[in-house]
Amino acid sequence: MAPDGPTMDLPTRPTPSYSDEDIRMLEALERRVRWLSTWTIHNANHLRDNPDGVKVGGHQSSCASINTIMTALYFHVLTEHDRIAVKPHGSPVMHAIQYLLGNQTQERLKDFRGYGGAQSYPSRTKDNETVDFSTGSVGLGAAVTNFAALTQDYLRMKGITPTERPPGRMMAIVGDAELDEGNIYECLMDTWKHDIRNCWWIIDYNRQSLDGVVNEHLFRVIGRMFRSVGWNVITVKYGRKQMDAFKKPGGRLLKKFINECPNDVYSALAFQGGSAWRRQILEDISAGEEDIGELHDLLNSYSDDELHAVMTNLGGHSMEAVLHAFDQVTDDRPTCFIFYTIKGFGLPLMGHKDNHAGLMTPDQMAAFQQAEGVREGREWEPFEGLDVPEAQVRTFMQKAPYASRKAFRMHDQRIPVPDALTLPAQERTSTQEAFGRILNEIARAGGLLAERIVTTSPDVTVSTNLGPWVNQRGLFGRHQKEDAFRERKVPSAQKWNRSPKGQHIELGIAENDLFLNLAALGLSESLFGGRLLPIGTLYDPFIARGLDSLNYACYMDARFMLVATPSGVTLAPEGGAHQSISTPLIGMGQPGLLSFEPSFADELAEIMRFGFEYMQEEDGGSVYLRLSTRPVQQVQRELDAETKRHITKGGYWLREPKRGATFAIVYTGAVAQQALEAFDILEERFPGAGLLAVTSADRLYNDWQALERARIKGTDGGAMAHIEDLLEPLASNARFCTVIDGHPAALAWMGAVRGHSVAPLGVDHFGQTGTPSDLYDHFAIDAQSIEKAAERMPKVPKQV
Ligand SMILES: Cc1ncc(C[n+]2csc(CCOP(=O)(O)OP(=O)(O)O)c2C)c(N)n1
Ligand SMILES: [Mg+2]
């Protein structure tokens, strides 16, 4: 476990922020937190009805390793301005602390992991408001704090949030195995470029993951990595008891043993306890050491239990060492703490390599209960078994800076959105180009909407048409930096001045970072009290690269507009590696993200207007626009209010069908022209046929399904879904052909709405290079294929 962390005799504050009395109070609270978190999991697994017989679970050992650290944080270190992400498996510790603070109910603790109960992993949306960041998918909770720090700076530097308020520290309690996730490194790189401040990562270095014990000297690699991106690294290895022991005769050899003992052996000894320590120490330390006699004396001065207490008193379990470590931070540099801990500390599961999902048996729990002085029937009493006066603990808790945090969610004004966004008229344009122009017009118009939009992109700013916006609004950076090309009068369409005023956050090519940045920006109102309307752009196929982070952002109910362009095989010459296929299904399947795929610029303008409103609605969400670079002949029209409403509800008849029509074409996105061409021909064969523009398969499908669920529950109130209304004029035996440059299943479901038969056309295998026409032909999504599909349909054998 080599080498040493900083010693206790290294104060950087003139006086510590804590007294001996504070330590006494915090240690008393720590015991309560350990009991309550362990009991909560025990209760859920052993004392609650479990009619389905599915294992309930919970992680008593993961919790036990962070009790001291979390107690110190919540009851001493955190202020009302700080925000914190708690490692997923530490959620019961967080719930226990909030329970002690009066912010969590006993009912929800009793229902931990149950329906309506405290959540398995901290959840902003499913737990109460005390959760700042959700966690669960390891690595993401830590990384989002970096982007929250960036968001905080963004808001403060523009005066959107008051600068007289001290900046909060964005903190993450991180399991050591979380550092295996690649997104950690992506985020450290990107946020290093942005020189983030006020970010603390507190690593629970228990040297255990799920399956076992981690490599030797991992902390060295971790430390090096953080230092290389400018972080302050504070390693806390020994607890007070160990440091006291080191000062005694023989202490040198005891320290040598600790430093040289392999991680897995240390864990095993922590599990085995007192006599095993004694045996191993004497076996490993050479008899030839000159102070070996002193070591013998030292060991003999301890009972087995005392020796066990000393050997397991690593830094992360020593309140004094923990407080001292936090005290060492005196500036706003991002700081990584590496706290040595033992997984399962203080429980019979301590150190065992299989303890991750291990649960204490009822017998073990009974012994633990007795040791903690918790009387039967009083297990949920917050202050049962205290060894200090309760009134004193209560007073101490009330004085904790965090206890003054009353508003767990902050609020800001709503940003007014004009009735219609300005769109320069063009005969032919692509949705991507129109997106750039609409944003450019917003930038030009100025006002609050323009001020609160913030854009971000993983190195595809120009190629997703954000260029004009950035030219007007500038790049964001903590420090002023002029565009060197511009200064030297080198002609370029892009003006890249960087300053605190800038409104575009440029990222490296890391889609995870895009989504995590959108997550933080999209929570800016709630976290910091400054509302932003974030827009992130990327190439549609690369959504998959950051999909878990996107899901994470949505799970936290962050609000943003995701503009994914180009998309589909329409991106023909770029080939199969860049062509997206299943993203329409991602859009439909992702909760919290409403997806649209318009064909025409005027549709896009209306969808963006709606999007800016929807992002601000209480029960709204984020918006995903799947766009294309394919120029499409625009429909010359002035959209009426009804059509606009239909566009944002997911679809409208571009050519209205006659009542009783037996055929329709349904299309989405870039293939509008193919659908129109086919329609002009097929209209003769199927008089009265309709042409349905689907602007959001997601909305049509999910609104319909929500209504179907309401019908099952009898709460629908006789309402009709938009897609049901749209298909209503068609004859009951009508057939339609759907076409999309994406997976055909995105539209194929429509036949189920009113029992029509459907020929779904789309893309369901990898693309390749070619012209759009070549590929439309290859994938059978061109006008001719639509015609042929329509001809074929009547020949489908009738069911008997
Ligand atoms: C992305 C992701 N992959 C896998 C898991 C399953 N998993 C949960 S905890 C864990 C190990 C965590 O170890 P560590 O971070 O060291 O936490 P500890 O319990 O030791 O504190 C794994 C693999 C997960 N939650 N998220
Ligand atoms: Mg671990």
Q: What is the pLDDT of residues 55-79, one digit of tens each?
A: 999 999 999 999 999 999 999 999 9
For residue 178 and ligand 1, the question of a CB distance below 6 A is answered with: yes
Atom of ligand 1 nearest to the CA of 66: 21
For residue 146 and ligand 1, the question of a CB distance below 6 A is answered with: no
For residue 22 and ligand 1, the question of a CB distance below 6 A is answered with: no
The pLDDT score that the predictor gives to residue 793 is 67
For residue 176 and ligand 1, the question of a CB distance below 6 A is answered with: yes
3-state secondary structure labels for all residues of 409-472? CCCCCCCCCCCCCCCCCCCEECHHHHHHHHHHHHHHHCHHHHHHEEEEEECCCHHHCCHHHHHH
The average pLDDT across 258-270 equals 94
CA-to-CA separations, 315 to 205, 239, 312, 360, 784, in angstroms, rounded: 10, 4, 9, 25, 72
Region at 353 (left for phi over 0; alpha for psi -120 to 50; beta for the rest): alpha
Q: What is the pLDDT of residues 685-699, one digit of tens each?
A: 999 999 999 999 999
Between the CA of 177 and the centroid of ligand 1 the distance, in Å, is: 6
The average pLDDT across 741-755 equals 97
Short-list 652, 763, 275, 136, CA closest to 126: 136
For residue 313 and ligand 1, the question of a CB distance below 6 A is answered with: no
The pLDDT score that the predictor gives to residue 10 is 45
Residue nearest to atom 22 of ligand 1 (CA): 210
The pLDDT score that the predictor gives to residue 5 is 47
Residue nearest to atom 10 of ligand 1 (CA): 210
The pLDDT score that the predictor gives to residue 211 is 83
For residue 186 and ligand 1, the question of a CB distance below 6 A is answered with: no
* 18 — pLDDT class (breaks 50, 70, 90): very high
Between the CA of 463 and the centroid of ligand 2 the distance, in Å, is: 41
Q: Is the pLDDT of residue 2 over 60?
A: no
Which of 210, 340, 343 is the pocket-test mutation for ligand 1 (most atoms within 8 Å of CB)?
210
CA-to-CA separations, 36 to 61, 145, 316, 645, 790, in angstroms, rounded: 13, 27, 19, 52, 66
Q: Is the pLDDT of residue 107 over 50?
A: yes
Q: What is the pLDDT of residues 375-428, one digit of tens each?
A: 999 999 999 999 999 999 999 999 999 998 878 999 999 999 999 999 988 999
Pairing of strands 498-499, 335-340: unpaired
* 11 — pLDDT class (breaks 50, 70, 90): very low
The average pLDDT across 364-384 equals 98
Q: What is the pLDDT of residues 207-237, one digit of tens each?
A: 988 887 887 778 888 899 999 999 999 999 9
Between the CA of 699 and the centroid of ligand 1 the distance, in Å, is: 35
Coil/strand/helix, residue 188: helix
The pLDDT score that the predictor gives to residue 515 is 98
The pLDDT score that the predictor gives to residue 6 is 45
Q: Is the pLDDT of residue 751 over 60?
A: yes
- 61 with 34: CB under 8 angstroms? no
The pLDDT score that the predictor gives to residue 794 is 52
Which of 209, 215, 340 is the pocket-test mutation for ligand 1 (most atoms within 8 Å of CB)?
209
Computed over every residue of the chain, the mean pLDDT equals 95
* 262 — pLDDT class (breaks 50, 70, 90): very high
Between the CA of 205 and the centroid of ligand 1 the distance, in Å, is: 13
For residue 681 and ligand 1, the question of a CB distance below 6 A is answered with: no
Q: Would you tell me the crossing angle of helices 20-42 and 390-399 to the nearest 10 degrees?
A: 100
Which of 61, 138, 180, 551 is the pocket-test mutation for ligand 1 (most atoms within 8 Å of CB)?
138
Q: Is the pLDDT of residue 4 over 60?
A: no
The pLDDT score that the predictor gives to residue 800 is 52
